[in-house]
Amino acid sequence: MTTTHARRDGARGGDELTATQAALAAEHAAVYGYGVVGGRIGAGRRTEAQGAYDAHRARRDALRRAVRDLGGTPQASAAAYELPFPVPDADAAVRLAAELEDRVAAVYADLVRAAGGAHRTEAAAALREAAVRAVRWRGSGVAFPGLVERAAAPTASGTAGTDADAL
């Protein structure tokens, strides 16, 4: 994910660097969350969890580069994150994985709106990948991945910079 300039769009109220930092924060949280998933997931889905973990690490690293390319300093991950619910077993781990993907999709939807060119294309690809993983975990999908979360929690990604310790 690279671009040469930050695009500001006052009509949309966002800016590419801010949205990229929010996506980076979401990927930090997803990497942490998949660490929890991996510790609780059943053997039959462990490979799937590892693949998702690796994908989020790769996206996180790409977003760090993108933030630098936009002239920013990449946001560091928190030492720990608050889970949205207890994860005592494999069923809860599957629910957490789906929740992580939904939250990442919401942040990438914001980045699609804020970015342009190749950065927008990468954000759309990341949104699609998160939506597909969410469907695989949950067994069902939503009509507009990344937007449903906005109706349920209007600040899902808007708080990424201020509430970075929550998944």
Query: pLDDT band for position 139 (50/70/90)?
Result: confident
Domains of the chain as residue ranges with CATH? 12-152 (1.20.1260.10)
- Do 105 and 127 meet the contact criterion of CB atoms below 8 Å apart? yes
More confident residue, 165 or 14: 165
- Quote the pLDDT of residue 13: 32
**Per-residue model confidence (pLDDT) at position 136:** 96
Question: Angle, nearest 10°, between helix axes 16-40 and 46-69?
Answer: 160
Q: What is the mean pLDDT of residues 93-115?
A: 96
According to DSSP, residue 82 is labeled B
In SS3 terms, 41-65 reads as CCHHHHHHHHHHHHHHHHHHHHHHH
Which pTM does this prediction carry?
Answer: 0.79
